Amino acid sequence: MNLTSPSQVKAWCIENGFHPNKTMGQNFLIDRNALLGIVDAGLKPVPVEKAAPRVLEIGPGLGVLTEELLSRGCLVTAVEKDPVLAGRLKAALGDPEALTVVAGDALDFIADGSSNLSDFDCMVSNLPYQAGTRILLELVQSRAPASITVLVQSEVAERLAAKEGSKTRGLAGVWAQLDYDVEIVRKVAASCFWPRPEIGSSVVRLVRHDRNAGFSAEEREIFHKLTKKAFEHRRKQLGSIFKDMIQSTARAEELSNEDWIYLVKELMNNADA
């Protein structure tokens, strides 16, 4: 089956009595140019000497990204929550040895310490719409893999890449940018999916940096608690939210990650004094 052929994808679904689940955010990519764009972007940061990159894919669906990644010599671990899709994936792609299918929830896979996320060279995925942001936030807090390239709703991509002072600046961007450089690679029209979603998507790439490698576990915990509370009251000035702790007339979206890190260190120094 040609996985970028709308007619063939629809025919398979009809023949097998499969109905894409809106609640699970199942929108299958059916455009070859968009497919090549996300795979090219996802494999770009992988070292050239890496003969067989280990790739994590979350939400493979019918396997359009999986098939392309395998064709480029990647070792793919695909995590699929839908039991019907998980059960068919490997056989449908010719039972390749380079493919490992994990049937289950991606959030459980990420939380499972035995998953060894750091072993993957990169993640390349068309994330399910409903759970995409939560999955990404769990991944960036784990700081693995080193490179994450995903197809998400454009508004999610914009929030992830937003800089201080932007109207789209929020918790997702602050948390992602603590350890990753975020870049929107390209937009993908809604017509490139079936069923067609209501809004367009974007390919966003996150590449881990080491600028905050020295940030301790305790500092990270305070960072996440501080920013979470601030963005829950984003219309208020920080001085009003954190009375007797922070003296500032700024609002949460106005601060850079460097500003947040400075505040965390100041709070810890004052606590020790």
* pLDDT score recorded for residue 142: 92
Domains and CATH numbers, the chain: 6-208 (3.40.50.150), 217-272 (1.10.8)
Q: How far apart are alpha carbons 251 and 247 in whole angstroms?
A: 12
Share of the chain above pLDDT 90, in %: 79
Taking only the tens place, the pLDDT of each residue in 13-49 is 888 888 888 878 889 999 999 999 999 999 998 877 7
Torsion angle of the four alpha carbons 262, 165, 138, 126, in this order, in degrees rounded to the nearest 10 = -150
36: tokens are 């090549």
Q: Are 167 and 253 in contact (CB under 8 A)?
A: yes
* pLDDT score recorded for residue 76: 98
Name the residue with tokens 């197809």: 151
Measured in residues, the chain has a length of 273
pLDDT band at 130, cuts 50/70/90?
A: confident
Q: Does the pLDDT of residue 140 top 60, yes or no?
A: yes
* pLDDT score recorded for residue 273: 53
Mean of the pLDDT values across residues 124-133? 90
When mean pLDDT is compared across 17-21, 47-51, 139-143, 144-148, the lowest value belongs to 47-51
Taking only the tens place, the pLDDT of each residue in 75-117 is 999 999 999 999 999 999 999 999 999 999 999 999 987 778 9
Taking only the tens place, the pLDDT of each residue in 167-190 is 999 999 999 999 999 999 999 999
